[in-house]
Amino acid sequence: MVKNGQSNLVNIGVEVMGGDLGPQPGVKGALMALDKTDCKITLIGKEDIIRKLLKRHSRTDRIEILHADDVVTMSDNPVKSLKNKPLSSIRVAFEALKKGQIDAVVTPSNTGAVIAAAVYTLGLYSFIKRPAIATLIPRMDEKRPFLLIDAGATPQCDPVNLCDFAVLGSVYYQILLNVPSPRIGLISNGAEEIKGNDLTRAAFRLLKEKFGDQFKGNVEGRDLLKDFVDVGVCDGFTGNIILKCLEGTAEFVVEFIKENLKWHPIAALGLWLAKRHLKRLFYKKLSPSAYGGAPLLGVKGLTIICHGMADEFAFRNSILVAKTFVEKEIHRVIESSFLSPAVKTVGTI
């Protein structure tokens, strides 16, 4: 942990400027996290704005502000923003992480720009060519959620990238959920080995060779939320579409039921009775806020990417997750296990 002045508490850097909802959710979420746990938080962004938001709240201990002049917006070109906005909150955050002023970065900003800045500033692990976002998705068994990797960092992949993502995802799942040998699946358009596109058919052979029995072959879209595999590997293009399809479909089903049953008196009464519990259930277990953000794996430094629409609860959860990751030294474990071919022998923490 970084030594911050008088204490050696974990210090989480929260970049609050780049989200769709402005800086408020980040500041609020940070205050909520401080009520829950004993870390420090460095809020990164425009100092005057952050200071104004903080004034409304009595709690200001364990909080620092790191000023950044500029903001990368959602419409900025990720790679160009690196050059054109060198003093953006994203860049300032990663520079601070690199210098050891903070232990992790939590950010809701333009995902492409975050990835570009993270890779540029922190660099990738040796032996890895591309980073991946690892997103946990709730399933029936709370202890066995589904890990989707890559959920959007690298849209264009080669078979070796997919194999690297399987290693990253498998070690991450192992550490996070205490599952010794997570089952790995390759997301494809059919269960049989001959199914897939050129990319996945080549990756299939590599995964089989590297993971042996831990690799469970192809897994289809309809089985991701069933208890067939723990880690589902795909390129970031496919992963991002899957993630957003899951979100969109869940929303649609609920809306569809509401809309179509509102004129059936008995059904409407039933749904009205169940409504409060349904809302709580969805919010607690199925909303994107539930797991906080998703880590960007492969870069040398802990980065948690939140949803662009992250609310204060999503920020709070992301900060709590980041703190746990720092304490578990998840990055060091992933990097070291990555260098060993026998991923299965990596112990859980």
**Residues of this chain that bind its own copies (CB under 8 A):** 75, 77, 112, 139-140, 152, 155-156, 187-190, 192, 194-198, 200, 220-226, 235-238, 240-257, 259-261, 264, 266-278, 281, 285-286
DSSP three-state, residue 78: helix
CB of 219 to its own copies, least distance (A): 10
CA-wise closest residue to 302 among 12, 38, 25, 67: 12
Q: How far is CA 227 from CA 51, 137, 140, 163, 288, in A?
A: 47, 12, 8, 22, 20
Task: In angstroms, give the least distance from the CB of 300 to its own copies.
Answer: 25
* Residue 45 backbone class (left: φ over 0; alpha: ψ -120 to 50; beta: rest): left
Closest CB 81 distance from its own copies, rounded Å: 12
Contact 182, 214 (CB under 8 A): yes
- 231 in Cβ contact with 184 (< 8 Å): yes
Q: Decide whether 124 or 254 has the Cβ nearer to its own copies.
A: 254
Output 43 or 187, the one with its CB closest to its own copies.
187
* Shortest Cβ 172–its own copies spacing (Å): 21
Residue nearer to its own copies on the CB measure, 136 or 319: 136
Nearest to 73 by CA among 12, 33, 114: 114
Whole-angstrom distance, CA of residue 18 vs CA of residue 49: 13
> Smaller CB distance to its own copies: residue 4 or 110?
110
List CB contacts of 13: < 8 A, sequence separation 6 or more: 41, 42, 44, 66, 93, 96, 97, 101, 102, 103, 104, 105, 106
Please say which residue, 60 or 156, places its beta carbon nearer to its own copies: 156
- In whole angstroms, the minimum distance from the beta carbon of 63 to its own copies comes to 33
Pairwise CA distance, residues 303 & 13, whole Å: 10
**All residues at 6 or more sequence positions from 48 whose CB lies less than 8 Å from its CB, including other chains:** none
Structure tokens at 124: 């990738």
CB of 74 to its own copies, least distance (A): 9
Nearer Cβ to its own copies (138/328): 138
CB of 116 to its own copies, least distance (A): 12
How far apart CA 94 and CA 91 sit, in angstroms, is 5
Taking the complex as a whole, how short is the minimal distance between the CB of residue 267 and its own copies, in angstroms?
4
Nearer to its own copies, 67 or 195 (CB): 195
Choose between 3 and 226: whose C-beta lies nearer to its own copies.
Answer: 226
Q: Which residue's CB is nearer to its own copies, number 87 or number 274?
A: 274
Amino acid residing at 342: A
Q: Give the contacts of 22 (CB within 8 A, at least 6 positions apart).
A: none
Look-up: residue for tokens 């070690």? 171
DSSP string for 88-103? BHHHHHHHHHHHTS-S
Minimum gap (Å) between residue 155 Cβ and its own copies? 5
